Amino acid sequence: MREALRVLDFDRVRAALAERCQTALGAEAAGRLSPLDRAGAEAAHRRVEEARAFPIRLGGVQDLRPLLVRARRGEALEGAELLAAAGTLERAMELKAALAEAELPALQELAEPIGDHGAFVRAVGRALDEEGAVRDDASERLRKLRARIGPLKRKIQERVYALLDRHADDLSDRFVTLRRGRYALPVRAERVHRVPGVVLDRSGSGATLFVEPLSVVPLNNELARLLLEEEAEVKRILAELSAALAADAGVEATLRALAGLDLTEAARRLAEDWRLTRPRFGPPGRLALVGAFHPLLERPVRNDLALDDRRRLVLVSGPNMGGKTVLLKTVGLSQLMAQAGLFVPAEAAELPFVRAVLTDIGDESDILADLSTFASHLERLRAILEAAGPDTLVLIDELGTGTDPEEGAALGQAVLEALLRRDARGVVTTHLSPLKAFAAETEGIENASMQFDLERFAPTYRLLLGVPGRSYAFAIARRLGFPAPVRERAEALLGEGQRTVEALLERLEAEKRALAEELRRAERARREAERAREELQARLAAIEAERQRVLAEARAEADRLLLQAERQIKRAKERARTEAGKKDALRQVIELRRRVRPAPRPNPYPDLQPGTLVEVPDYRARGRVLRVQNGVAQVQIGALKVEVPVERLKPRDEGAPRPTEAVVVKSGFEPELNLRGLTQAEALLALDEFLTEAYALRESPVRILHGKGTGALRTAVRQALKRDKRVERFHDAMPFEGGHGVTVVHLREAR
């Protein structure tokens, strides 16, 4: 595909990709980018998609290959170079770990070759500081040397500074300097004999000589020796680190993985900047581009194009400068970018995976080979016909031009027939009317045109499928005010057949525009309906949200009331533990039930009369109605009189007259309490509540089921019964009624 890559400006895509790379490694990989096999291209698409959720940052990553070459030649690298190498390898390992944690399989696979360079990174971290200088503790010998060098330098400085005052009149300035690595004084040239020492250097003017005082010569000698030993030790440490880098066989694989990650991130940025779309490889021979555009143009026009078994070739015609060549390059570049693992310039793209993109675009005449423009076209057409097949994409610009129009049309038709026989897919542009007529009556090939706006006198660059293009020669001539007699003579010379064709094309184009306008109106109506539906859904969602809010507030208010009621009941129970508070506590519970009960509904029993026997579910008891007023009935339950909404009652003997004699009504109270399975504390609390209710309802005797077990619960119950003043006596149940596992309790008469 080398020729297609060149003709379709793929190098400019590579350059745009390289600009977005963060490293020299990635930029080099971008410059080499070419179409891949199908598995490789699809894997690249997955990586770019994953990079959208995990942008890859490669700050500080460098191309280590030159350093690696030098290290493997035996050179000792500088500290800063080793620090850069360690930083790059450490960043690579961090990135690999981050991708593994993020669970991005395509990027993880690309990062898998990154090796474990931890030993080298740790060694560099121990030996070098942040600036790349060798640390004092990089080795024991270096530590000892520097421990001696520091004090020795201070001793020399103290001795030299002491000479500043002694020889103040002999010095050209009051400072100590280093010359040839040795401490010296700036002495006036004419007074050098007054300062005993070794002359090391002189100033540019010669007025100052730099003298090493004799008193510090031995110390300077010792310092020079120590510094040489320090330098040798530093070089040894750097050489050792360089050798460790050279011995790491996984560095090259790590660098290749970093280049791939950088290229992936650049492809993601390119897709974001150019608004590219992830393509999908469909079945062979099927191409569908929606909203395709040329990515290298500043303000490209988007077009739709489809090729399949019915429409294998599209023949595009229309005026010059109408966008035909741009359309060809858009289709070809989309195919190449998809197969190179990049996203494509379209709103949606389904492409076949092709063996080759075959092109004949532009004037490629070879002057050196003495080939004319037409001959050059023939050479490329021959190559296309030899390679064309169902797994290729053919792009031919200006088929049949460059020679006599009739011969060119005949040759062009033969080429189209050969491409159809080979089941090739492609786009062909032409100006020749015979080829338009051939396309109109031949299965497998469809006419198309690039639209031209006569009102604005400019192309629109929009593709119209199904309609051949017009040349607009006479229309343009009229618009430009071309002399009418000459124009009319030209129309007469055109021939009746050609005039008929032009008229037909004009009518087809008008119908096409009308249909397009109708389609736009339908699309607008669809969008408005969709917008109305979305607004309705939004309103329904708001109503549902408001309903949920009201329900939540109602539940919260109910919970608040329930909690308040439970607290009041608890306080009432605590007051009921005293004999004096029992009656008031029961009345308070009844009043509380009345307050928290929902508002009464319409009376379901309008004929309810005093004396009617009723069930009272709220109290699990039966009673007799005493009176009914405002939907509330007063009911006698044992010794209690309670007020209950009528709808909360269940008549048992509806309409029965009130008896003249006293009526004894048994409550719905269960005279048996089961304490088995409870702790002693739980059991005693339940026992107290049970006895309170039984005593108030004058239910006696009652049964307490505590079981036999170890006897602990039985003992605790009986001790509580002994202390309870409401209990008259208690005893075991009969053997056939539970025996020692049940205590029968007789209560005193309530007062």
Same domain, 258 and 286: no
DSSP letter string, 2-52: HHHHHHTTHHHHHHHHHHT-SSHHHHHHHHT-----HHHHHHHHHHHHHHH
Q: What is the mean pLDDT of residues 529-548?
A: 86
Peptide bond into 701 cis (omega under 30): yes
For the stretch 456-480, pLDDT in tens is 666 778 888 887 766 666 666 666 6
**Do the domain assignments include residue 573?**
no
Q: Residue 629's pLDDT is what?
A: 79
Confidence band (pLDDT; 50, 70, 90) for 276? very high
User: What's the CA gap between 286 and 271, in Å, rounded?
Assistant: 24
SS3 465: strand
Same domain, 306 and 232: no
Per-residue pLDDT at 595 exceeds 70: no
Per-residue pLDDT at 591 exceeds 90: no
Decide: 717 and 706 in contact? Cβ < 8 Å.
Answer: yes
What percent of the chain shows pLDDT beyond 70?
A: 85
Mean pLDDT, the chain, as a whole number?
83
Highest mean pLDDT among 33-42, 530-539, 637-646: 33-42
**95 compared with 554, residue with greater pLDDT:** 95
Burial 697-716 (b: 16+ CB within 10 A, else e): bebbebbbebbeeeeebbeb
Per-residue pLDDT at 343 exceeds 90: yes
Question: What are the distances in angstroms from CA 193 to CA 156, 187, 342, 555?
Answer: 22, 10, 80, 107
Q: What is the CATH number of the domain that holds 195?
A: 1.10.1420.10
Q: Mean pLDDT lowest for which of 112-116, 472-476, 629-633?
A: 472-476
Same domain, 236 and 254: no
Q: What is the CATH number of the domain that holds 690?
A: 3.30.1370.110
**Do the domain assignments include residue 583?**
no
Per-residue pLDDT at 498 exceeds 70: no
**631 compared with 343, residue with greater pLDDT:** 343
DSSP H helices, 248-282, are 251-274
Question: What are the distances in angstroms from CA 182 to CA 161, 177, 646, 654, 697?
Answer: 14, 8, 116, 126, 115
End-to-end CA distance of the chain: 111
Structural element, H or E, at residue 377: helix 373-387
* Number of helices and strands in the chain (H, E): 21, 23
Q: Residue 596's pLDDT is what?
A: 52
Among 642, 632, 541, CA closest to 589:
642
For the stretch 43-79, pLDDT in tens is 999 999 999 988 899 988 999 999 999 999 999 999 9
Per-residue pLDDT at 529 exceeds 50: yes
Same domain, 353 and 451: yes
Among 647, 643, 713, CA closest to 681:
713
Phi, psi (5° rounding) for residue 177?
Answer: -130, 170
Same domain, 431 and 361: yes
Per-residue pLDDT at 389 exceeds 60: yes
Q: Residue 588's pLDDT is what?
A: 62
Per-residue pLDDT at 423 exceeds 80: yes
* Helices 118-127 and 217-247, packing angle to 10 deg: 170
Same domain, 63 and 113: yes
Q: What SS3 string covers 478-525?
A: HHCCCCHHHHHHHHHHHCHHHHHHHHHHHHHHHHHHHHHHHHHHHHHH
**568 compared with 275, residue with greater pLDDT:** 275
Among 431, 349, 417, 351, CA closest to 388:
417
Structural domain of 642:
599-651
Q: Residue 653's pLDDT is what?
A: 52
Per-residue pLDDT at 603 exceeds 70: no
Q: Residue 662's pLDDT is what?
A: 36
Phi, psi (5° rounding) for residue 212?
Answer: -90, 110
Domain closes at, from 434, 455, 479: 479
Same domain, 617 and 475: no
Same domain, 515 and 463: no
**Do the domain assignments include residue 147?**
yes
Q: What is the mean pLDDT of residues 493-509?
A: 56
Which pTM was predicted? 0.61
**96 compared with 693, residue with greater pLDDT:** 96
Decide: 171 and 249 in contact? Cβ < 8 Å.
Answer: no
Same domain, 104 and 19: yes
Highest mean pLDDT among 219-228, 325-334, 438-447: 325-334
Q: Mean pLDDT lowest for which of 112-121, 165-174, 454-463, 658-667?
A: 658-667
User: What's the CA gap between 324 and 328, in Å, rounded?
Assistant: 6
Confidence band (pLDDT; 50, 70, 90) for 583? low
User: What's the CA gap between 244 and 124, in Å, rounded?
Assistant: 10
**Do the domain assignments include residue 518?**
yes
Per-residue pLDDT at 500 exceeds 60: no
Highest mean pLDDT among 40-54, 501-515, 516-530, 632-646: 40-54
Per-residue pLDDT at 655 exceeds 70: no
**Do the domain assignments include residue 173?**
yes
What percent of the chain shows pLDDT beyond 90?
A: 38
**Do the domain assignments include residue 665?**
no
Decide: 749 and 696 in contact? Cβ < 8 Å.
Answer: no
Q: What is the CATH number of the domain that holds 412?
A: 3.40.50.300
Same domain, 253 and 227: no
Q: What is the CATH number of the domain that holds 55?
A: 1.10.1420
- Residue 684 corresponds to which tokens in the numbers above? 């005693």
**Do the domain assignments include residue 486?**
no
User: What's the CA gap between 23 and 621, in Å, rounded?
Assistant: 87
Phi, psi (5° rounding) for residue 56?
Answer: -95, 120
**Residue type at 493 in one-letter notation:** L
Per-residue pLDDT at 422 exceeds 80: yes
Structural element, H or E, at residue 558: helix 496-576
Same domain, 633 and 550: no
User: What's the CA gap between 508 and 373, in Å, rounded?
Assistant: 34
User: What's the CA gap between 318 and 406, in Å, rounded?
Assistant: 18
* Angle of CA points 265, 267, 268, to nearest 5°: 65
User: What's the CA gap between 370 and 374, in Å, rounded?
Assistant: 12
Highest mean pLDDT among 53-67, 325-339, 529-543, 558-572: 325-339
Per-residue pLDDT at 369 exceeds 50: no
Per-residue pLDDT at 222 exceeds 90: no
Q: Residue 568's pLDDT is what?
A: 72
Q: What is the mean pLDDT of residues 697-723?
A: 88
**Do the domain assignments include residue 122?**
no
Q: Mean pLDDT lowest for which of 139-153, 171-185, 384-398, 460-474?
A: 460-474
DSSP letter string, 104-161: -HHHHHHHTT----HHHHHHHHHHB-TTSPBPGGGSHHHHHHHHHHHHHHHHHHHHHH
Q: What is the CATH number of the domain that holds 631?
A: 2.30.30.30
Please name the residues in contact with 627: beta carbons below 8 A apart, sequence gap of 6 or more. Answer: 610, 633, 634
User: What's the CA gap between 486 and 484, in Å, rounded?
Assistant: 5
Q: Mean pLDDT lowest for which of 160-169, 465-474, 712-721, 729-738?
A: 465-474
**Residue type at 471 in one-letter notation:** S
Q: Mean pLDDT lowest for which of 376-380, 477-481, 700-704?
A: 477-481
Same domain, 302 and 385: yes
The number of domains in the chain is 6
